[in-house]
Amino acid sequence: MNVILIGMPGAGKSTIGVLLAKTLGKSFTDTDLIIQQAAGMKLADILAAFGTERFKEIEEAALLSVKETDAVIATGGSAVFCERGMEKLKTDGVIVYLDVPLRELEKRLTGIKTRGVVMREGETLAQLAEERAPYYERYADIRITETGDAESTVGAVVKALAALKTG
């Protein structure tokens, strides 16, 4: 069974994903890296060259290309806008929403423009979070509100996964 991590940019999906994969003895896949490798460019460069709509098409293709069956998969923050890709991932595993308070995201995302984040011109991080939250909640099987360090977040995910199996 796959464990799929969703959440805002800066939520720690890649960082938590690697640690979670080690803890669970699973492989790790990052769909942002799939996108970069397929395009031969960084996410920010893809967005600059092709725009957000084309980026979403590329992201959807990356999500649909995931073939793993026993992995931890970190998705990009905008993956939840790719309905077919998210439905495929949902059938392949458990989706965990890493929910990070806005204040913490603002601390973590000092270089948001260089990260390759799908957002409209002039849009604030608060507006982006407000727009995306219903999508994250829609797809999530488990919601983890991050309040501590990476290790405690991994522990919370492991505990929630165990509860899901026994429940």
Q: Residue 119: its pLDDT value, please?
A: 66
Q: How far is Cα 88 from Cα 90, in angstroms, rounded to an integer?
A: 5
> 58: which 2 tokens?
């590329």
Q: How far is Cα 139 from Cα 150, in angstroms, rounded to an integer?
A: 22
Q: Cα–Cα–Cα angle for 127, 138, 156, nearest 5°? A: 90
Mean pLDDT, range 133-152, rounded to an integer: 93
Mean pLDDT, range 32-46, rounded to an integer: 92
Q: Residue 69: its pLDDT value, please?
A: 93
Query: Quick one: pLDDT band at residue 147, thresholds 50, 70, 90?
Result: confident
Q: Residue 132: its pLDDT value, please?
A: 93
Asked if 3 and 161 count as a contact pair (C-beta separation under 8 A), the reply is yes
Mean pLDDT, range 115-120, rounded to an integer: 64
